[in-house]
Amino acid sequence: MANVHRIGDYQNNGQGGNYYQMGNQESQLNMGRLQQMRVPFITSGNRYQGDPRKETFPQMLKLNLCPSLKLFSFTIFIILLNVLIFVSMCTQGINKQGQLLEIRIDVLDEFGANNAQKIQQKYQLWRLFTAMFLHLNFIHILFNSVSAFILVSVMEYTYGTLYVIIIYILSGIGGNLFTDMFSSVIIISAGASTSLMGMLALFVSYMVLNWKSLEFTGQLRCMFVCITTIIIIWVFLLSSGFSTKSGVDNFGHLGGFITGLLAGICIPKPFQQTDYEMKAKFISGGLLAFFLGLMLILFYTVVKL
Q: Domain map of the chain by residue range?
A: 74-301
pLDDT tens profile 38-77: 777 666 655 556 666 677 767 666 666 666 667 788 999 9
Secondary element (H or E) of residue 50? none
Does residue 209 register a pLDDT over 80? yes
pLDDT at residue 39, rounded to an integer: 73
The amino acid occupying position 80 is: L
pLDDT at residue 284, rounded to an integer: 96
* pLDDT level of residue 98 (50, 70, 90 thresholds): confident
Q: Where is pLDDT greater, at 179 or 34?
A: 179
How confident is the model over 158-180, as a mean pLDDT?
93
CA distance 201 to 203: 5
The answer to whether the pTM exceeds 0.75 is: yes
Which one of 140, 171, 213, 253 is the catalytic residue? 253
* pLDDT level of residue 240 (50, 70, 90 thresholds): low
Overall residue count recorded for the chain in this entry: 305
Choose among 191, 223, 78, 37: nearest CA to 127. 191
**pLDDT > 90 fraction of the chain, expressed in percent and rounded:** 36
Helices of type H across 17-56: 25-37
pLDDT at residue 15, rounded to an integer: 45
Q: Where is pLDDT greater, at 251 or 82?
A: 82
How confident is the model over 130-158, as a mean pLDDT?
90
How confident is the model over 78-104, as a mean pLDDT?
90
Which one of 193, 195, 239, 284 is the catalytic residue? 193
CA distance 302 to 305: 10
Choose among 83, 126, 88: nearest CA to 108. 88
Q: Are the C-beta atoms of 40 and 155 separated by less than 8 Å? A: yes
Q: Where is pLDDT greater, at 276 or 98?
A: 276
Per DSSP, the residues of 94-155 read B-TTSSTTPBPHHHHHHHT-EEHHHHHHS--TTHHHHGGG--SSHHHHHHHHHHHHHHHHHH
CB proximity list for 169: less than 8 A, separation 6 or greater: 129, 132, 195
CA distance 257 to 174: 9
For the ranges 14-28, 106-120, 249-263, the lowest mean pLDDT is seen at 14-28
pLDDT at residue 126, rounded to an integer: 93
pLDDT at residue 20, rounded to an integer: 46
φ/ψ of residue 189, rounded to 5: -130, 155
Let me know if 68 is a catalytic residue: no
Per DSSP, 48 falls in state -
Let me know if 5 is a catalytic residue: no
Architecture in CATH of 74-301 = Up-down Bundle (1.20)
pLDDT tens profile 272-296: 888 999 999 999 999 999 999 999 9
Helix (H, G, I), strand (E, B) or coil at 180: helix
Averaged pLDDT score across all residues of the chain: 80
Does residue 92 register a pLDDT over 70? yes
pLDDT tens profile 133-146: 999 999 999 989 98
Does residue 7 register a pLDDT over 90? no
Does residue 16 register a pLDDT over 50? no
